[in-house]
Amino acid sequence: MTKPLPQGISLGQFNAAIAEIKQVVGKDYVFLDDITELRSYRDAYNTTNDADFAPSAAVAPKTVEQIQKILAIVNDYKIPIWTISTGKNFAYGGPAPRKAGYVVLDLKLMNKIIEVNEKHGYAIVEPGVSYYDLYNFLQEKGIKLWIDCAAPAWGGFVGNTSDHGAGYTPYGDHLLMQCGMQVVLADGTVVETGMDTSANSKTGALYKYGQGAAIDGLFTQSNFGVITRMGIWLMPEPPGFTPFMITLENERDLETVTDLTLPLRLNQVIHNAPMTVDLLWEAAMSVSKRQYYTGTGPMPESNRQKMAKDLDLGIWNYYAAVYGPAPMMKNNMEIIRDTFSTIPGAKFHFDKTRKGDPGWDYRVKLMQGIPNMTEFSLLNWVGGGGHINFSPISAADGKASMTQYQMIRKRAHEYNFDYIGEFLIGWRDQHHIFMLMFDRMNAEEKKRAHELFAVLVDDAAALGYGEYRTHLSFMDQIANSYSWNDNALWDTHHALKDELDPNGILSPGKMGIWPKHLRGKS
Amino acid sequence: MNTIVEKLSALFTADKLIAVNQNTPVEYQFLADRINNAERKVVAIVTPSTLDELQKLLVFSADQAFSLFNLLSPGEINTAPIPANGDIVVIDLKKLNAIIEVNTKAAYALVEPGVSYAQLNDYLEANNIPFVVDFDKNSTQSVSGGISNRSYGYTPYGDHLMMQCGMEVMLASGRLIRTGMGAMPGSDSWQLFKYGFGPYIDGTFTQSSLGIITKVGIWLMPKAPAYQPFALQLPNEAALNQAVEIMRDMKINMLVPNTVTVASAQSDALQFADEAIEHISSNDEAAKKHQLGQWNMYGALYNIPANVEFLWQAINGAFGQIEGAKFLLQDATASNPVWAQREMKMNGKFNAINPQLAAYSSINVHFASPIDGDDAVSMQALLQKVSNPAELKIISQFALTWRTMMHQLQILYPTGNVEKLAQARQLAKQLIDDFTAQGYPSCLVDADMQDAVDAVSLDGLKTLKKRVKKALDPQSVFG
Amino acid sequence: MNKSLIFGLSCLALSACDQATDSSKTESINQAAKLETSAPAQPTTTVESSNRAGRVIFELHCAGCHDPGPAHAATKQLALVRGEDKAVIMQRKDLTADYIKYIVRDGLLEMPPFRPTDINNAELDNLATYIVEGAKAHTPEETK
């Protein structure tokens, strides 16, 4: 197998650069072997070919100084690097780089928990710190702070937050809860943002904006710098927590439940992001498709109904929670009950009757920041594990939800896939996640999934719907769809890119942001 | 200078072009006061009424010797950096004042920069829309300016940047961009989802001169079913310390959702009482005269009635432990004029300020601290002991938001008094040095104090900002 | 940043390790090794070992999907496609250390691969041993 090299770089140049990098981190932290080491850096769930995203090497530094030295070398040789932190961004590319041949800058070994401050409710962590790591630490030390993790929870704070990820407790908007970061620019300049404007600032992880332009957001979903540290606010353990579920019988209930939710979110009656989850996503936590349908294509309606009945699930399944002192939770639950009981067929479920159901159990864990991997059961639905997320943003509006759902479902069925999805209802918006599941060992299915995804991006854009995050394969297509005023925003991103990374060595192509020499050639 | 005005008159009709001279309208006189020095001066003010006019100005300015300075909110210098040298043309976007949309279902507004809090509030009232307008100082300030300045109001939506969602910006090149979901043509979510796709750049355009915000989205708070404001009057510094400690937990646990303020009697009297500024020197006297505590904490509950009742019990119980502390509730506003003004701010109602302040201007400097009783005491000590030979009066308050306690200072000087302004700047610089040295960096300063902040800031961030400036304004249109 | 409360990860020492040269490198060892410039200098950092116990690795990286019970994705899937007796890897006497190590680095169907920075080679050995020994010690009656 020929080693994939970065575009325009010769083997000699590559080897020379690697030799220098080995002197920085030690040869044991430079991974070169395509078979024994770099296989683990590929995107296991891609919809094209492994080779499309195969790195030429991976490097694992532990300190800012090492990163600075590596940057100096790759700038010199003009070798593109692709930064990952915990490397678990599955459904969006995992640890793999945008194009074959990049060198992966793997920050997993930069994994210190720098500080946890219980009194002020924050932590400062390095990129390699996973949700499990901090959770275990807090448990071990008896610190009464919760984390807010993604599902599944083997990812980490820096990576997920910088990809605009979301969670399931009241602190679910991860970027909102981020406070301060340390970034290394392409030329090695170290920047402390936020309130670390002075050397002994007391408010580094306490005040988000600093003074002057508030620039933290520039380093999220972008390739303008390498984040080496991040502050995050942690929620104090509340006095009480009441999760609940509502099963809904009709497809159109999606519209009603969304419209009923918005005022409850605006008025903070429900404190976290409610999830409206479709039947199949729910069912996948307990069973696989073949247990109810052995044919090809989407599961037929009668099979779905039987499965729903067996598992005591609705066509839609709504999860949310209230948090706080018991009397306040009781007051909020009264309003919640009154509100949703107006939906015919809506049934409330609580821990008493639901405990032990894997779907309930894992969501309850997520809503209190207990990391778990149960959501990976989705990969069992068709088996073969392939999955890619189509993630449009929707208004927190019933009609908009129905439009998106029906549009996606129709296309999915056309391409012989099930619609598997959920809506996370934020403050005024929703993250709509369509889990496109496929057997990664089936080349035809991969191809079909890829085609479906590309069609969905275009369909959505035609309706004015855009995705909030995406897989490596679709970054350009989606970036191009955010085209208001002749792609003025991406031109702006490129102006920033050219200034902050003139050699274009940081994660070229991330979110469709390319350095000059690669622009328009992807 | 005449040439500049002459050139501009090719772009602007007489009603939109003001030459700065002895006849400059009163509303703009502060610009010369605050901007002019040996290196730079304001030569003209333009008031475009269309985006087209604004764009033509920016394009024209690119190869001209003068720089542009965008006035973020009327009457004050605000926080965007002033061009360092040369002739300056000020842009006042007061005529770009359309309320483009108020969405009653999703509770947001999309406004142009010239829209004031008063205008927005009038619109809501006229249309029976029960949303609260969150403002910092007064009704004439710009809604967009409040976001650009990252100022704070006193309701639960007090963090103006946090409540911002989506913006349209005219870059130095004259090109328009829309951030977040606004970059997706036909999107219904521009004011619903902050982040869009790609880097989250909105904050870059606040407290900066990297582009001109031409439209901004802001979330509006529906009036709460129940609202209970409270004033907690505290007898001494030890009580202040205790109160801040207790309130930290309330803030971090989201029990008291609004921006909680704490001010001395003297400060509150300066700001809200009707008394001559020069006469307000003693905290004891101010407390007695204006029915205030030595220290005064203001907060409110916003929730359903049953929850407000429950929370009130908790608050009463928690703060009741402080010896000598006294609560005032809403009914006391009828007989307590200062408390009445404070309460109005928390209720989204435009309050009155000390009429004697009409003759004064201020230099604003805000510092950020953890929410900690000891830090409140320390910062107060820093304020007390700073060298102030001119005996300038300072309005100061602590403002508690999320996990920060800001110390917000307004250093007063008689408007137009060149000597006192110089002394106020000296005082501001000293405060910036002193507070920063003790670990309380600035989070907001008037633009003419930026150099003082830069002098005590770390290099890395300054380097980054220079590069961002170079990327977004390569021809220094904004200085 | 306020560094007055710095906690290292004491029980999960995740620092550098002395990775033994992998003697199982195949022929396709890249030509880079051959074309290395002369005498690479010593690394400038102090290399500390990370050599976590197999149990620690299993709890952190594997248990989420492989513990017994319906909350665990891999266990469920193995039960369905391979049979109940193959469901819980900690109970499977048919798994060899070499196979475990190969799957960890290569992935298999639903399971993605784990990088050397997740689990280094020494830790991979520990993990494989832990699973194999655990399965050996397991007696089927205990599951009833």
| Average per-residue pLDDT for chain A | 96
Residue A1 lies in a domain: no
Among all chains, which residue has been given the structure tokens 């307590």? B336
Judged by a CB distance cut-off of 8 A, whether residue B202 touches chain A is yes
Tell me whether residue B35 is in a domain.
Answer: yes
Same domain, A47 and A176: no
Report whether pLDDT(C26) > 60: no
Report CB contact under 8 Å: C115, A376. Answer: no
B33 and B136 co-located in one domain: no
Q: Which of B59, B94, B129 is the last residue of a domain?
A: B94
Query: ipTM > 0.90?
Result: yes
Q: Is residue B269 part of a domain?
A: yes
- Chain B contact probe: residue of A216, A323, A482 with most B CBs at under 10 A: A482
Q: What is the CATH number of the domain that holds B246?
A: 3.40.462.10
Q: Do the chains contact at C64 and A376, CB–CB below 8 Å?
A: yes
Question: In angstroms, what separates the C-alpha of A72 from chain B's closest C-alpha?
Answer: 17
Nearest CA of chain A to the CA of C126: how many Å? 18
CA distance A313 to chain C (A): 17
Same domain, A444 and A488: no
pLDDT at A322 over 80: yes
Residues A298, A370, single domain; the answer is: yes
Using a CB-CB cut-off of 8 Å, the residues of chain C touching A286 are 70
Nearest to B466 by CA among A215, A244, A169: A215
- Contact state of A211 with B207 under an 8 Å Cβ cutoff: yes
Asked whether the beta carbons of residue A429 and residue B453 sit closer than 8 angstroms, the reply is: no
pLDDT at residue C5 greater than cutoff 90? no
Q: What is the pLDDT of residues C78-127, one digit of tens each?
A: 999 999 999 999 999 999 999 999 999 999 999 999 999 999 999 999 99
Bridge partner residues of A183 (DSSP)? A191, A227
- Say yes or no to pLDDT of C17 above 70: no
Taking the CA of residue B376 and the nearest CA in chain A, the distance in Å comes to 13
d(Cα B420, Cα B415) in Å, to the nearest integer? 9
- A177: domain CATH number is 3.30.465.10
**Mean confidence (pLDDT) of chain C:** 73
CA distance B145 to C47: 53
| Chain B: touching chains (3 or more CB pairs < 8 Å) | A
Q: Which residue of C has its CA nearest to A287?
A: C76
Q: Sort B245 into a burial class: Cβ within 10 Å, 0-12 / 13-18 / 19+.
A: middle
Q: What is the pLDDT of residue B176?
A: 98
Q: What is the pLDDT of residue C22?
A: 34
CATH assignment of the domain containing A317:
3.40.462.10
A383 touches chain C (CB under 8 A): yes
**Structural domains counted in chain A:** 4
Report yes or no on B470 lying in a domain.
Answer: no
Say whether pLDDT at C143 is over 90.
Answer: no
Q: B369 and B260, same structural domain? A: yes
Same domain, A59 and A167: no
Pair (A181, A270) in one structural domain: no
Banded pLDDT at A197 (limits 50, 70, 90): low
A375 is a domain residue:
yes
Q: What is the pLDDT of residues B389-407, one digit of tens each?
A: 999 999 999 999 999 999 9
Q: Which residue of A has its CA nearest to C65?
A: A373
> Are residues B376 and B243 part of one domain?
yes
CB-defined contacts A:B, below 8 A? 294
* pLDDT for position C10: 28
Answer yes or no: do B338 and B441 share one domain: yes
C31: confidence class by pLDDT, cuts 50, 70, 90: very low
Contact (Cβ atoms closer than 8 angstroms) between residue B67 and residue B479: yes
What pLDDT score was predicted for residue A202?
84
User: Which band of pLDDT confidence, cut at 50, 70 and 90, is reported for residue A316?
Assistant: very high
Helix and strand totals (H; E) in chain C = 6, 0
- Does residue A465 belong to the interface with chain B, where contact is any CB pair within 8 Å? yes
For residue B420 the two structure tokens come to: 């006192």
Decide if A195 and B201 are in contact by the 8 Å CB cutoff. no
Mean pLDDT of B217-242: 98
Count of beta carbons in the 10 Å neighbourhood of residue B49: 17
User: How much is the average pLDDT of C138-143?
Assistant: 69
List the 441-470 stretch of B: residues with Cβ below 8 A of A.
Answer: 441-445, 450, 453, 456-458, 460-461, 463-465, 467-468, 470
How many other β-carbons are positioned within 10 Å of the β-carbon of residue A129? 29
H helices present in A440-482, as ranges: 443-462, 475-481
- The mean of the pLDDT values for chain B is 97
* Residue C19 belongs to a domain: no
Residues A491 and A354 in one domain: no
Domain-embedded: residue C65: yes
| Structural domain range at position A134 | 113-236
Look at A209 and B150 and tell me if their CB atoms are within 8 Å.
Answer: yes
- The CA-atom distances, in angstroms, between B422 and each of A382, B42, B362, B413, B454 are 74, 18, 12, 9, 19
- In this prediction, residues A68-73 reach a mean pLDDT of 98
Percentage helix, strand, coil, to 5, in chain A?
Answer: 40, 20, 40
The confidence score (pLDDT) of residue C139 equals 84
Pair A246, A185 in one domain: no
From chain A, pick out residues whose CB is under 8 angstroms from the CB of C25. 33, 35-36
Regarding whether B246 and B194 lie in a shared domain, the answer is no
Query: Can you name the residues that pair with A82 across neighbouring β-strands?
Result: A104
Chain B contact probe: residue of A171, A190, A197, A513 with most B CBs at under 10 A = A197
Q: Identify the weakest region by mean pLDDT among A158-172, A501-515, B350-364, C18-32.
A: C18-32
Which of B62, B94, B126 is a domain's end point? B94
pLDDT tens digits along C42-61: 333 444 568 999 999 999 99
Which of A35, A60, A385 lies closest to C117 in CB terms? A60
- Cα distance between residue A232 and residue A148, in whole Å: 10
Q: Do C76 and A380 touch (CB under 8 A)?
A: yes
- Pair A465, A490 in one domain: no
**Co-location of A280 and A374 in the same domain:** yes
Q: Does a structural domain hold residue B467?
A: no
Provide the b/e sequence for B425-445 (b: ≥16 CB within 10 Å): bbbbbebbebbbebbbbbbbb
What is the CB neighbour count within 10 angstroms for residue B165? 27
Alpha-carbon distance of A124 to A121, in angstroms, equals 11
pLDDT of A34 reads 86
Exposure string of A325-358, with b = 16+ CB inside 10 Å and e = fewer, is bebbbbbbbebbeebbeebeebeebeeeebeebb
What pLDDT, on a 0 to 100 scale, did the predictor assign at position C12? 27
**CB pair distance less than 8 Å for A40 and C106:** yes
In a domain, C36, yes or no: no
Radius of gyration of chain A (CA): 23
Give pLDDT, residue A3. Answer: 86
CB contact under 8 A, C73 and A373: yes
Chain A partners within 8 Å of B468 (Cβ): 213, 215, 218, 496, 499-500
Q: How many angstroms separate the CA atoms of A196 and B457, rounded?
A: 9
**Residue A339 and residue A405 share a domain:** yes
Q: Report chain C's C-alpha Rg in angstroms.
A: 19
Indicate whether B129 and B261 sit together in one domain: no
Which chains, if any, share at least 3 CB pairs under 8 A with chain A? B, C
Cis? peptide before A170, omega within 30° of 0: no
Instruction: Please give the residue range of the domain that contains residue C89.
Output: 47-139
Residues 413-432 of B with CB under 8 A from A: none
A200 touches chain B (CB under 8 A): yes
Please report whether residue B115 resides in a domain: yes
Closest CB from A121, A193, A465 relative to B403: A121
- Cα–Cα distance between A330 and A336 in angstroms, integer? 10
Is A6 part of a structural domain of the chain? Answer: no
Q: Does A326 reside within a domain?
A: yes
CATH number of B201's domain: 3.30.465.10
Total structural domains in chain B?
A: 3
Classify residue B459: in a domain, yes or no: no
CA of B324 to nearest chain A CA: how many angstroms apart?
Answer: 26
Host H or E run for residue A320: strand A316-323
Task: State yes or no: pLDDT of C9 exceeds 50.
Answer: no
Report the amino acid identity of residue A460: A
Give the residue numbers of A marked as catalytic.
92, 468-469
Q: Cβ of A42 and C22 within 8 Å? A: no
Q: Percent of chain A, pLDDT > 70?
A: 98
- Kindly tell me if the per-residue pLDDT of A266 is higher than 60: yes
* Share of residues in chain C with pLDDT > 90 (%): 60
Residues A211 and A139 in one domain: yes
Same-domain pairing of B247 and B295:
yes
Inform me whether the C-beta atom of residue A62 falls under 8 Å from chain C C-beta atoms.
Answer: yes
Q: What pLDDT shows up at residue B2? A: 61
Q: Which residues of A touch B465 (CB under 8 A)?
A: 212-213, 215
Are residue B161 and residue B292 in the same domain, yes or no? no
Decide if C109 touches A, using CB distance below 8 A. yes
Closest in A199, A479, A495 to B197, CB measured: A479
Q: Which residue of A has its CA nearest to C23?
A: A36
> Is C16 contained in some domain?
no
Contact C32 A15 (CB under 8 A): yes
Q: How many CA atoms lie within 13 A of A442 on its CB side?
A: 15
CATH code for position C111: 1.10.760.10
- pTM for this entry: 0.94
The C residues from 20 to 39 touching A (CB cutoff 8 Å) are 22, 24-26, 28-33, 35-37
Q: Which domain holds residue B28?
A: 2-94
Q: A153 and C45: CB-CB below 8 Å?
A: no
**A73 and A150 belong to one structural domain:** no
Q: CA A233, CA B370: separation in Å to the nearest integer?
A: 13
pLDDT tens-digit series, residues B160-205: 999 999 999 999 999 999 999 999 999 999 999 999 999 999 999 9
Burial (CB < 10 A; 0-12, 13-18, 19+), residue A64, is middle
Q: CATH no. for residue A43?
A: 3.30.43.10
Q: Is residue C101 a part of any domain in this protein?
A: yes
Nearest-CB residue to B252 (from A121, A183, A470):
A121
Domain match, B300 and B439 both: yes
Residue B32 sits in the same domain as residue B118 = no
Number of domains in chain C: 1
B403 lies in some domain: yes
Residue B404 located in a structural domain: yes
Assess if residue C128 is contained within a domain.
Answer: yes
Q: Are residues B141 and B49 in the same domain?
A: no
Query: How far is it, in rounded angstroms, from Cα A266 to Cα B220?
Result: 9
- Asked if C40 lies within 8 A of A374 by C-beta distance, the reply is no
Closest CA to B158 of B411, B450, B404, B394: B404
Residue A104 pLDDT: 98
Are residues B75 and B154 both part of a single domain? Answer: no
Indicate whether A387 belongs to any domain.
yes
pLDDT at site C48: 58
